[in-house]
Amino acid sequence: MLSLLSSLVSLLFLFLIPCLFITSYIWFPVFLPKLLGLIKFKAARDDHDNEKRDEGTCVVREEELQRELMPRHVAFILDGNRRWAKQHGLLTEQGHQAGAIRFIEIAELCFELGIHTVSAFAFSTGNWGRDEDEVKWLMSLFQHQLKSNIQYFHRNEIRVSVIGNQTNIPEPILQRIHEIEETTKGYKNKHLIMAIDYSGRFDIMHACKSLVKKSEKGLIREQDVDEALIERELLTNCTDFPSPDLMIRTSGEQRISNFFLWQLAYTELFFSPILWPDFDKDKLLEALASYQRRERRFGCRV
Ligand SMILES: *[C@@H]1O[C@H](CO)[C@@H](O)[C@H](O)[C@H]1NC(C)=O
Ligand SMILES: *[C@@H]1O[C@H](CO)[C@@H](O)[C@H](O)[C@H]1NC(C)=O
């Protein structure tokens, strides 16, 4: 065992010492932790998939779902990235990164299943209160995600909208957001909505302000105000299906946390104990099966 170890170590050095000369000393200490981090990150993501295979649990199959009962809009609260990172001994940023990768995977699955609109509460107004570095990193992650996925959005004809209070979003990111919204707005069948610096109360307040302005200009009167009019002022007016049929929140929290408030009035809620980066296809199918078993009443007695 010891000899095996020592030969391994010497082999490693034989490989590493030339590396030290080829590359600079400064670069090397930066590179190694990054590489180790990457290996750990990959292992953490694979870990979960392997564990599940071992369990061999019975899962819902895609064919068991009824296409005609698919929700048209599914909203997600992506919760648990930080806890996931901690659990795997990774950095918080890596948790968010794993969460972002997972979100694109899950959105893709939703679209394949015929769901029209997928929305995500990616960054709440309350998140500005977090550690400055984490916020900065989250912002650069959004920028990176938007940039690296633009081809994907076009190839799959996905319309992208970003909603929320945009005053605090750094200018380069805002520009990219507008660019993506503009170039994808013609796509009709798949709609991805990212709520960034969004809060349900902000949305309603924003709508009120807009209505008051219109009233001051004499464009509307009191008797014109109804639900449809308010709905047209909410930030979800960008989609054909502003009210989610199903909302999924991960990581065991059972709260709305100031996400859609008006829009969730008749939404079916699904809470999963799974941390978001581990929320995979099986979990999604499970949530959809649960949704399809429910009898929706929209406030009426049946
Ligand atoms: C939007 O964000 C800015 C900057 O933080 C803030 O001053 C403003 O009050 C926010 N708007 C609303 C309606 O919350
Ligand atoms: C949608 O809502 C936003 C925010 O209130 C508003 O600025 C915009 O004019 C609305 N769009 C339409 C088509 O009504």
Q: Is residue 66 part of a domain?
A: no
DSSP category for residue 130: S
What is the tally of structural domains in the chain? Answer: 2
Residue 202 in contact with ligand 1 by CB distance below 6 A: yes
In the reported structure, the alpha carbon of residue 195 is separated from the centroid of ligand 1 by a whole-number distance in angstroms of 15
- Domain limits at 48? 1-57
For residues 246 and 175, membership in a common domain is answered with yes
Residue 205 in contact with ligand 1 by CB distance below 6 A: yes
Q: Other CB atoms closer than 10 Å to residue 145's CB: what's the count?
A: 17
- For a mutational test of ligand 2's pocket, the pick from 233, 234, 235, 240, i.e. the residue with the most ligand atoms closer than 8 A to its C-beta, is 233
For residues 271 and 216, membership in a common domain is answered with yes
Q: pTM for the full model?
A: 0.83
Q: Whose CA is nearest to atom 13 of ligand 1?
A: 202
23 three-class SS: coil
What's the pLDDT tens digit per position in 117-127?
A: 999 998 777 77
For residues 260 and 112, membership in a common domain is answered with yes
Q: Which atom of ligand 1 is nearest to the CA of 199?
A: 14
| List 47, 54, 79, 203, catalytic entry | 79
What's the pLDDT tens digit per position in 58-109?
A: 688 888 899 999 999 999 999 999 999 999 999 988 999 999 999 999 999 9
For residues 158 and 275, membership in a common domain is answered with yes
Q: For residue 190, is pLDDT > 80?
A: yes
Q: For residue 188, is pLDDT > 70?
A: yes
Ligand nearest the Cα of residue 165 is 1
Please say if 79 is a catalytic residue.
yes
Across the beta sheet with 117-124, the strand order is 158-163, 190-198, 117-124, 73-77, 246-249, 268-271
List the beta strands (DSSP E) in the chain: 73-77, 117-124, 158-163, 190-198, 246-249, 268-271
Read off the CATH number of the domain in which 220 is found: 3.40.1180.10
Q: How confident is the model at residue 132 (pLDDT cuts 50, 70, 90)?
A: confident
Ligand nearest the Cα of residue 212 is 2
Q: How confident is the model at residue 140 (pLDDT cuts 50, 70, 90)?
A: confident
